[in-house]
C-alpha cells in the first residue's frame, strides 16, 4: 500500500529540500530521496522515475541561481551541455537492455578515490590552473561519457562533472560546480524522457518533491556562491564516502566485512 497521507508528503517535501541543497553543492541528493520514496511503498522503478522527475527541478533551480549570480554563462556553455544530454539519452537507452551490475561494482571505489583526493588536497580548486586538455576534447569525450553514466546508473555524476572540470580544465571548484549543475541537469533530463513515455512517475510525490527541490536548489547554490570552495570540499568528501558506502552495502560487500 502506498502511503499518501499528509505526514508522508511533508516528510518527502523536507527530504527534497535537504537533498537538493546538498545536490547543488556536491551531488548525491538521491541518497535521501530514493529511500524516502521507496519507504512510502513505491516499487524501485517508480521510485527511481519519480526521483528523476523531482531531481530535475532541483538541478534547474540551482542552475538558474548560478546563472543569475554570474557564476555560469548559459550562452557560452549550453551548447556543450547538449553533449551531456546526448550521453544521458544513450545511457538511458542502454540501461533498458544491459545489466548495470558491473559498473555498480566499480563506482564505489572510484567515489572513495575522489573523496581521498579531495580530502588530502586541501588547496584543490582554490585557484585556477592551466588546463591539461583542450575544452573541445573535454566536451566531446568526458562530458558525454559522464552523461552516459548519469543516464545509465547515476550516483556521483555531479561530483564527476565538477572534479573533472577541476582536474582537466584547471577550474576553481566553485566554478566547476556551477558548470556541473548545468551538465547534470541535461543528463538528468534525458532519462526522464524515457520514464515519462513509460508512465512510471508517481505524480503526487513528484510534484510535492519538485517544489522542495526548487527551494533546496536555491539554498545550495546560494551557499556555494557565498562560501565557495571552503564549503563545497567537506560536503563533497562526505557525500562521496556516503554514496560509496550505500553502493557497497547494496552489493553485500560491507556485510561480508562485518562479523
Stretch 100-116: mean pLDDT, rounded? Answer: 73
Condensed to tens digits (0 to 9), the pLDDT of residues 218-238 reads 999 999 888 877 777 788 778
Q: How many CB atoms lie within 10 A of CB 227?
A: 12
- What's the mean per-residue pLDDT of the chain? 85
Condensed to tens digits (0 to 9), the pLDDT of residues 148-167 reads 988 887 777 888 899 899 99
**How high is the pLDDT of residue 173?**
87
Q: 20, 213 in Cβ contact below 8 A?
A: yes
Say which residues have a Cβ less than 8 Å from residue 218's Cβ, sequence separation at least 6: 61, 62, 65
Condensed to tens digits (0 to 9), the pLDDT of residues 237-255 reads 787 788 778 777 766 766 6
**How high is the pLDDT of residue 5?**
84
Residue 171 CA to residue 71 CA, distance in Å, equals: 12
In SS3 terms, 75-101 reads as HHHHHHHHHHHHHHHHHHHHHCCCCCH
**How high is the pLDDT of residue 110?**
75
Residue 2 CA to residue 20 CA, distance in Å, equals: 24
Amino acid at each position: 500500500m502506498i502511503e499518501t497521507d499528509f505526514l508522508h508528503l511533508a516528510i518527502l517535501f523536507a527530504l527534497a529540500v535537504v537533498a537538493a541543497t546538498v545536490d547543488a553543492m556536491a551531488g548525491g541528493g538521491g541518497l535521501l530521496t530514493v529511500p524516502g520514496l521507496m519507504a512510502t511503498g513505491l516499487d524501485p522503478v517508480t521510485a527511481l522515475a519519480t526521483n528523476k522527475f523531482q531531481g530535475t527541478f532541483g538541478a534547474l533551480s540551482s542552475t538558474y541561481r548560478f546563472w543569475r549570480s554570474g557564476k555560469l554563462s548559459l550562452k557560452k556553455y549550453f551548447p556543450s551541455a547538449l553533449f551531456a544530454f546526448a550521453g544521458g539519452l544513450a545511457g538511458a537507452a542502454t540501461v533498458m537492455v544491459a545489466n548495470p551490475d558491473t559498473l555498480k561494482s566499480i563506482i564505489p571505489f572510484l567515489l572513495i578515490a575522489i573523496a581521498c583526493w579531495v580530502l588530502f588536497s586541501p588547496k584543490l580548486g582554490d585557484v585556477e590552473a592551466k588546463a591539461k586538455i583542450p575544452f573541445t576534447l573535454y566536451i566531446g569525450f568526458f562530458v558525454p561519457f559522464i552523461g552516459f553514466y548519469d543516464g545509465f546508473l547515476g550516483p556521483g555524476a555531479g561530483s564527476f562533472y565538477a572534479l573533472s572540470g577541476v582536474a582537466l580544465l584547471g577550474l576553481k571548484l566553485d566554478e566547476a560546480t556551477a558548470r556541473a549543475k548545468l551538465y547534470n541537469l541535461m543528463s538528468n533530463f534525458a532519462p526522464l524522457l524515457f520514464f515519462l513515455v513509460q508512465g512510471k512517475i508517481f505524480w503526487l510525490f513528484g510534484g510535492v518533491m519538485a517544489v522542495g527541490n526548487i527551494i533546496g536548489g536555491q539554498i545550495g547554490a546560494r551557499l556555494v556562491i557565498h562560501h565557495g570552495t571552503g564549503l563545497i570540499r567537506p560536503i563533497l568528501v562526505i557525500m562521496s564516502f556516503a554514496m560509496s558506502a550505500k553502493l557497497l552495502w547494496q552489493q553485500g560487500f560491507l556485510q561480508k566485512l562485518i562479523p
